[in-house]
Amino acid sequence: MATKAAHKRLTREYANLAQNPPDYITAHPAESNILEWHYILTGPPATPYHNGQYWGTLIFPPDYPFAPPAIRMHTPSGRFRCSERLCLSISDFHPKSFNPAWEVTTILLGVLSFMTSEEMTTGSVSASEAQRKALAVGTRWWNSTGGGTTSRTLGEGQKEQSSNTRGFGAIKGGDGGVRFKEQWPEIDEENWKWMEQCKVDPQTGRSVAPVVRQRNSEPEASAVRKRVDGSGAALGAVVDGGQARDVGQGWVRRHWGKLALAAVFVYVLTARVLSDVQR
């Protein structure tokens, strides 16, 4: 339970953040507990996380601001382990280095800055830029379906579900997206509209739209990706515009034209050499 000083401080900080929201950051305390904050970081341009929707929590101690919060990110990003406490200078891993003058906005700006760097710490992971981009495309699907564990289908309204992962830091895939919807109902509805528009299967995260093949061009698919889990990275080249080149083709198939030209060149060269020899 928050002290009076912590409650007053967090209430003031929420009002300030609501009036002057920083770029790429939104956050609010849970209605039932002012010590439990939920945030969404939107991936900035020129990063592998561009337009990704990264949901996490800040769990503040009762004596905040004299001690720092526990920081977690629940959405797969290729940067952090899902729902694992992050070891940052602004987190509860380093209470002695925390400055009471730092506010929620300062903390979240620090998380965003660390995310877009390559520095490693407890709770961080390594991934390629392509893997992080692929995960960014699937963030809205993951948040609103609990990683594909929802029973809702496209064209169907939200079913009543109960969360089996309540409590501090207990948010993770497997609850059908209930916890995300509880905290972000408007954003959740936008995510479902996006899935409807892009024909994304709620259970798999894959596109269910028909594949359109064009003559004399490589096959293209709408939202090519594999299902995302909390630790693995999605495979396939995915772009936010809704189309991506199929990287699963064989090398020979993708370069058959060059191989044919090479074969013709070798044939002509061989014929000339044989002709010279006969002379």
Cα 37 → chain centroid: 19
In a domain, 243, yes or no: no
Taking only the tens place, the pLDDT of each residue in 56-105 is 999 999 999 999 999 999 999 999 999 999 999 999 999 999 999 999 99
Number of separate domains in the chain: 1
**CATH number of the domain where residue 88 is located:** 3.10.110.10
In a domain, 43, yes or no: yes
pLDDT top residue among 166 and 136 = 136
Taking only the tens place, the pLDDT of each residue in 13-47 is 999 999 999 999 999 999 999 999 999 999 999 99
Q: What are phi and psi of 226, to 5 degrees?
A: -110, 160
pLDDT top residue among 274 and 140 = 140
In a domain, 234, yes or no: no
- pLDDT score for 174: 83
CA atoms within 13 A on the CB side of 131: 15
- pLDDT score for 167: 52
CA atoms within 13 A on the CB side of 136: 27
Q: Which residues are known to be catalytic? A: 87
In a domain, 194, yes or no: yes
In a domain, 69, yes or no: yes
Q: Which domain does 115 fall in, by range?
A: 1-198
> Rounded mean pLDDT of the chain?
82
In a domain, 133, yes or no: yes
